[in-house]
Structure 1
Amino acid sequence: MEKVMLVEDEEFILQGIRYIIEWKEMSMEVVHMAHNGREALELFKKEPVDIVVTDVEMPFMSGLELMEEIRKLSPRTRCIILSGYDEFEYARKAMKLDVEEYILKPVNEEQLKQALIHAREHLNEIDRKRAGSMEGKIGWHRFLKGKLKPEEEAEFYHILPAIESDSTVFASLMKIDTRTLNEKQGLNDILVELQNETHRIKVICLAPDTLFLLLYLESGHTEEDVLEYYKSFQDRLESRCGIMSFLTLSHAIDCYSALPQCYKLVSRLQKYRMLEGYGTCINENHIKDRKSGDVVIDEQQLRKLILKKDKEGALNYIEDLFINNLKSEVNVDVLYQTALKIAMLLHDIKVEYKLAQSRNFQNLSEIIEKIYQADDIFGLKTIFISEISEIITYLHTEDSQYTPVVKQIMAEVQKNYKEDMNLKTLSYKYHMNASYLGQIFQKEAGCSFAQYLSNIKNGVAKDLILNTNMKINDIAREVGYPDTSYFYRKFKQCYGVSPASLRNMKKY
C-alpha cells in the first residue's frame, strides 16, 4: 500500500482532495496532511511517503521548494503538482524536479486518479531498476545474506514497505522454469500478474529466473494459508501465461532484520525442486520426515551391467533407482550423493577403458556441473542415461584388449600402487627395454605409465574421500603421496576438482 502525503494551504481544498479519492480501493493510504511546505517537510523527515500531492503557492515554503528538498532526501518519491496558474515557468521547474504530473485546479477526480496510477507504475519501475542497479554495487544477495553494514542496509530498508503493527510478512523464493518464459517478455508477465493480486506483494528480482517475494497479510494467517494462496497463484500463472514455477516459503516475520534467516531457509529448500518439480510450493514442514543417511546403490551391479554391454539392464537400473526409489519421501542430499557416486563410477570406467580421450564424452567436472544445474529428477536421470548409452556404444566398437605384459603391469599397479614404482624397475623385472615398454604401455593403455599409476592412486583416494571420514592428509599418505600439496595437484588434474571440494559436494 503506497503512502501518500497531501499538502494544501486551504483547508477546504485539502479535505476535498482527501475525500475525492477512494484511497483504499487504490491500495493507497493518506498518512500525512500539511498546510504548507515547511510543515510537510518535517512530516516527511519523520515518516517518508511514496507519493506527494501538493499545491504550488503556499506560505513559508512553496510546493516546488518542497520538492527540491524532498528530492535531496528521496529521489524515488513521486510528486503530483496542483496549481491554479497555467504558467510555463511553473511547468518548466516541475519538469526539472521530475514531477509526475502538473494538474490545474479545480482538480478533476479522474485526472488525479490517473496521475496516482501512473505514479504507482513509475514507483514499481524505479524499484525494479534500482534493484538491478544495486545488484552491481552492493546487491540484494548480500543484503539478504546479512553481509551489509547498517548504513548500507538502510538503503534497502527504504525501498521496502513499512510493516504495520497489525500485519505480518511471509518471505518466499520463486524459481521460474525459463523454458516456459516468453523470450521478449521475460519476467514481465509474472510481474503484471503479481501486481494485479489483491494482497500486497513486494517483488525483488534477484536473477532473470528468480524472484524474492514478500507477502503482507493481516496477523493471524498461517503458513498453510499462504501455501494455499501461492498454489492458487501458480495455477493461475500457468493457465493464463503458461509459466511454471517452484516456490519455497519461509515462516512469518514482523521485522526485516529476520530476512537473512528467511532467505537462508527458502534458498536451502530450493534444492527440493529436483524431487518436487516445477508447479509446486513447499515449506519446511514438507521435508521434516524425509529419509536421510547413507546412499544405497549397488555400484558393482551397475558397473557389471555396463561392462557386459547390457544397455537395457543398465538403463532400467537407472530408471528404477531415480524414479521408483529416490522419488519417494527422500532427503534431497541423498539424491545428490547418489548422482555423485554414479558420476564417479562412470568416470572410472572411462579412464580404465581408455574412453576419456574420446571427444564424445564429458569430463567429470562437466557432469557434476550438469547435476547441480538439472531442473528435476527426470533431467538428472537423462544425464546418466545419455552418458551410459555413449559408454556402452563405444565399448561395442572398441575392444579393449591388452597384451599379457601390459595386463601384468596393470595388475601389479592395482595391487602395489603405494610402492615407489617406475618403468625402469618394471622393465628390469620383465626383461624388457624401458623405452620400448613405455611405448607399448602408452599405445595400449592410452596414457603413460606414470599417468596410469596416478589415476589408480587417485581412484582409491576418491573412494576414501567419499566413503570414509579420514583426513585428506591421511588419505594422501594412504595412497602413496607423502607430499599433500602434490597429492592435491595430481587429484585435481585427474578429476577437475580438489579433494576438499569433492568432500564438500558429498555433503551438499
Structure 2
Amino acid sequence: MFKVMIVDDEPAIREGLKTIIDWNRIGFEVVDAAANGREALQKFERIQPDLMIMDIRMPGMNGLEVIEQLRRNHSRTHVLILSGHADFEYARRALGYGVDGYLLKPVDEVEMEQELLRVYESLEQEQHVGAQRQQPVPAHELVEQMLMSSSGKEQERAQQALSLGWPSYQVLLLEHHASRGDHLDGWSTYLEQLHSWWNMEQRHIAFRAGNYIGILTGRSYGERELSELRERLLDHSTASEMWYAAAGMEVDELEQLHDSYADALDLLEQRFWFGTKGMAVSRSKPYGYGQEPEHTEQPSILAPQANEWADRLYYAVDIRSLEAAERVLTELMSVCHLARLAERDTKSLSSHVLSLALSRLPGSVAGSGPAVQSCLALIPELYSAPTAASMIDLMLRGLEQLLQSINGVSHESVMKQMTDFIRRHYSDNLKLELLAEVFNYNSAYLGKMFKTYTGESFNHFLDGVRLDRAKELLAQGMKVHKVASMVGYANVDYFHSKFKKYTGVSPSAYREQMENEQQH
C-alpha cells in the first residue's frame, strides 16, 4: 500500500475524501490529514507520504508554498491539488513544480479514482526502478562497462563502483578454438566455470571481452602462472578444443586498466605467431618464429618469394627428408613473421609454396601423382589453422604420408643421396651452400665429405654430370646454345670453355664428330 496524506482547511472535505474513495482497492492507504500548510510540512517529515492531496488555497501557508518547500528539500513525493474555478492561475503554477494533476471542487469520485490509478502506476514503476538501482551490479559487468563502454561517464561510474583497492591490476585474455576453427561459443558455460574457480577475495574477476574471455586479476601473471591457467582450461576441454592466452602489463591503479587490456589485446591479436606454448606475456618473447621486429631502426625485410621457397621444399621432399622439410617450413614462417606478413597472406604464401613444390614431384618420382594430390587436398585446412605452428604440423603430416606412400624415407647415405640429387637436378642453379641447407650440414664440412666420397670437388662433379649430359644432347644434333641452357649454363662462352677443357674439343666440333660417326 502507498501512503496518502490529505491536506485541506475544510474538515468536511478531509473526512469526505476518506470515505467516498475505496482507497485499499486502488492500492492506497490514508495515513493522516492536515488542516493547513504548516501542519502538513511538520507531519510530512514523520510520515513521508507517497502522495499528498492538497488544497491550493489555505490560510497562513497555501498549497503552492507547501509544494515549493517540498521541492526545495528535494522531495519527489507525488501531489494532486484541489482547486476551485477561480484558482486556475495557482493550479497552472503548481504544475510547474511537477505535480501530478489537479481536481476541481466539488470532487468527482470517478475522476478522482482515475487520477489515483494513474499516480499508482507511476509509483509502481518508480518502486521497480528503485529496486533495480539498489541491487548491486555484478563485478564482471562493471569490468565490462569500464573496458568496453564508449561512454566516458559510464566508464567512470563503473570504476568508482568497483573500488577494489588491490595492490596491482592485470588483464588476461583467453581465446578458444574448436577443431573446426570456430571462435568461442557457450559464453555463460565458460564464464561460470571460471567464476566457480575464483571469487573476488582471490582477486580474479572473469568477464566477456568481445570475442575473448577476459580475467581481471590482482595477482602477478608471468609465463608460469599463465601456462598453469591455460593447462587448467585444457584439462576441462575436449581433445578437439584449444585455448590461447595473453597477459597484459601490470598496472598500479584501476584507472590504468585500459593500458593492460590494450596490451593483452595486442598480444592476442598476434596469436597466429604464438609458438607451441600457445600464450604470450607482456614484454616477454613468446613468438616461435624469430624475434618480434622493432618498429624503428630495423632494415626493410622483404616478403619471401614463393618460387625460391618452393624449390627448397621440393629438394627436401625429393631426398625423402621430413626433417629437411620441417627446417624449410620453420624458416619460411620465421621470414614471414619478420617481414610482418598478415596471417591471411602467410597462409596464402605457404599454400602456394606447397603447391609449387609438390607439382614438380610426379616428374621425378614415378607413380607419386595420387599421393601428391592427397597431400595437396590439405591446403583448404591450412586457412583454418589457428597458429603458424599448427599450420606447419598440418603440412608435415601430409608430407609424411606422402613420403611413406612413395616407398618411404631413403636410408642411403647422405653422400649417395647427394650425388643422386645432383644427377636429377644438374640443370638447376645448384650451389654447395644450398645443398648444405637441404642436408643440414656445414657447407665447408659437406664439401670435404663430398670430395672424400667422390674423389672430386662439388663443382667439378657437377660440371662432369652436366657435360656428360651435354655430350648426349650434342650427339642428338642439338644446337650448342640450347644444350648450354638445358644443362645449367646460362653463358654459352663459359659452357664452350668448360666443354673444351673437359673433352679436348669444342661443342660444335664434338657434334660434327658424332654426326660423322653415325653416318659411318
- TM-score class, shorter-chain normalisation, is 0.3 to 0.5
Larger RCO, structures 1/2 (Cα 8 Å, 6+ apart): 1
Q: TM-score, normalised by structure 2?
A: 0.36
- Larger-Rg structure: 2
Q: TM-score, normalised by structure 1?
A: 0.37
